[in-house]
A = this chain, B = another copy of it.
């Protein structure tokens, strides 16, 4: 019988997570799994999680495999065995926690959207830049960049397979607010969530549009709507996507839906739709990009597939091909299963963990950076401004010339 040889084991990276609801569960799965699938230079250790409710956080720690539980995120940040702080709380606390963690010398992974306002996001970028000088890294959790089909899509575009881009159309459709009696959770309150479908779903598709094309959005024209103005109040705090409400109703203070058009730096036209009111669409992030030489299409409900049309082929045999993105050559697939043995939603968090661990080990900047998160935030702010100003085209000040 042989024992693990500790002399050759990789050094560890202590992770501390704040928040333990849906995103906390997904991030936990990422941290637990990444080292068993990929050969990582650092071994992630699930050191501690923090949450306000002592019983809840203890149960979550046990369930998700975290060694310790804290009821104050400041205590978590202060722990010596925590090298990286992973922030999975609602958006209203992102800035405070992230800045404190960076100031405490920790690496930071912050869930999207980066913040609830541009000002907060700018402060976070500043903190990240200061920390970078001390060798600390910061990343924002736009996990869909790490769907293999989308990572591969970006590569095809960067390789020029689409040529000059003409159109980007992206929609992110869910339906959990169709029922007018779905209760007034924190996600429907502006003070906690910042915005509704816009920040939750729109942030993803704005980031993807920029990531996939490598271009920034330079302006937008928008309409937003809250179809159901009042919903049943929760008697006590609820943090999840599912909950039940009481008899009293309170005002919904965020948008149910946002639709907007935009321009990419190259002049391509973009259309966006984010809604929680599309009956029958569960997690339908759909995108299509058309260029001079070809097109790409994708649907998150079939996330192992990428459709690619090569317009330079003979017309008689051209057409959108369904690429099953599970070949060893595809991004992230070297660690997984044989072709056609498909991946799921949570794998994006495994990939995110891998990439961040590798960035920390090598000292390179992980993407999406806080600056990328700020770029998205500025677009979202322009969307809200345009919606308030009769949909007038509203320019976006770019954080950087291109998106990587």
Which residues of A pack against B, CB within 8 Å?
A: 1-5, 9, 22, 26, 28-29, 32-33, 36-37, 39, 48, 54, 57-58, 61-65, 67-71, 75, 152, 156, 162, 166-167, 169, 171, 173-176, 178, 180, 221-223, 225, 227, 241-242, 256-257, 259-261, 263, 267, 269, 271, 273, 275, 277-284, 288, 290-295, 300-304, 308-309, 311, 314-324, 326-330, 337-347, 386, 390-393
Complex contact A166–B280 (CB within 8 A): no
Interchain CA distance A364-B68 in the complex, whole Å: 35
Given B36, B290, B341, which contacts A28 in the complex, CB threshold below 8 Å? Answer: B36
Q: Which residue of chain B is the closest to A9 with respect to CB atoms? A: B62
Interchain CA distance A22-B340 in the complex, whole Å: 14
Most buried by B among A36, A330, A344: A344
Separation in Å of the A148 CB from the closest CB of chain B?
11
Complex contact A391–B261 (CB within 8 A): yes
Complex contact A337–B346 (CB within 8 A): yes
25 inter-chain pairs at a CB distance below 8 angstroms, sorted by A residue, are A2-B54, A2-B71, A4-B62, A5-B58, A22-B337, A29-B33, A32-B36, A167-B278, A176-B338, A180-B292, A221-B391, A223-B261, A259-B261, A271-B273, A280-B319, A282-B339, A283-B326, A283-B340, A301-B324, A314-B329, A315-B339, A316-B323, A318-B323, A391-B393, A392-B392
Separation in Å of the A63 CB from the closest CB of chain B?
6
Q: Which residue of chain B is the closest to A276 with respect to CB atoms? A: B166
Complex contact A308–B301 (CB within 8 A): no
Given B174, B269, B347, which contacts A340 in the complex, CB threshold below 8 Å? Answer: B174
Do A26 and B337 form a contact, CB below 8 Å, given A4-B62, A9-B62?
yes
Complex contact B178–A328 (CB within 8 A): no
